[in-house]
């Protein structure tokens, strides 16, 4: 019997059993959309009606100014994190720019996530199911930073890509449901 470490994972960790990040992300997105579709059952006719009659217009700055300071902080930090995150996804990793912009992105995402703890307008006075994503972000973000500092690049990459594509793509789609603030800002 050999004392050499045994490889218990014959497949590559990035493609376990043929599942890549993209396939896993697509499957999770379909599952989340199916759950949302079921949960929103009775309001679909109103949503489709609003989508059909929607007309894109310049942002309604009066509406933007009337938002509470917490929602404004949330909106501005989320948009800044979305733009900076997109830049980080296409830039070369590991350089000084990546580190500085990465720390800035982490601060923006953390501010965005913490601000959601004070936003309860979707479910007046209480948190809603979307706040589960806040909890996930508040756990995963520090872990992703820790993995980067420990030079575990693969875990860092998976966590950050999951946060960027999962949290931002999902939430961006969720915020444009007819009747919500961003919908009213651009279409209402």
Strand, coil or helix: 124: coil
Task: With beta carbons less than 8 A apart as the criterion, state whether 37 and 173 touch.
Answer: no
**CA 97/CA 103 separation, integer angstroms:** 10
Stronger pLDDT, 65 or 29, i.e. the higher one: 65
Stronger pLDDT, 122 or 144, i.e. the higher one: 144
Give the total residue count for the chain. Answer: 188
In the chain, the largest separation of any two C-alpha atoms, in whole Å, equals 74
Q: What is the pTM of this model?
A: 0.73
Stronger pLDDT, 6 or 41, i.e. the higher one: 41
Please give the average per-residue pLDDT across 33-58, as a whole number.
78
For residue 125, what pLDDT is reported? 81
For residue 17, what pLDDT is reported? 59
pLDDT digits 0-9 by tens, 13-29: 445 556 677 787 778 77
Please give the average per-residue pLDDT across 159-180, as a whole number.
83
pLDDT digits 0-9 by tens, 67-113: 999 999 999 999 999 999 999 999 998 899 999 999 999 999 999 99
For residue 12, what pLDDT is reported? 45
């Amino acid at each position: 019997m050999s004392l050499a470490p045994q490889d218990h994972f014959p497949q590559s960790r990035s493609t376990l059993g043929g599942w890549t990040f993209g396939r896993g992300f697509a499957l999770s997105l379909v599952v989340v959309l199916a759950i949302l579709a079921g949960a929103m059952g009775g309001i679909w006719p109103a949503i489709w009606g609003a989508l059909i009659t929607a007309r894109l217009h310049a942002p309604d700055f009066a509406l933007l100014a009337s938002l509470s300071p917490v929602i404004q902080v949330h909106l501005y930090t989320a948009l800044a994190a979305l733009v900076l995150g997109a830049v980080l996804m296409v830039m070369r990793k590991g350089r000084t720019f990546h580190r500085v912009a990465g720390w800035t992105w982490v601060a923006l995402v953390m501010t965005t996530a913490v601000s959601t703890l004070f936003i309860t307008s979707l479910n007046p006075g209480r948190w809603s199911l979307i706040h589960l994503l806040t909890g996930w972000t508040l756990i995963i973000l520090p872990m992703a930073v820790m993995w980067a500092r420990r030079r575990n690049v693969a875990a860092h990459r998976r966590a950050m890509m999951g946060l960027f594509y999962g949290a931002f793509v999902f939430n961006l789609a969720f915020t444009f449901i007819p009747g919500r603030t961003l919908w009213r800002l651009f279409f209402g």
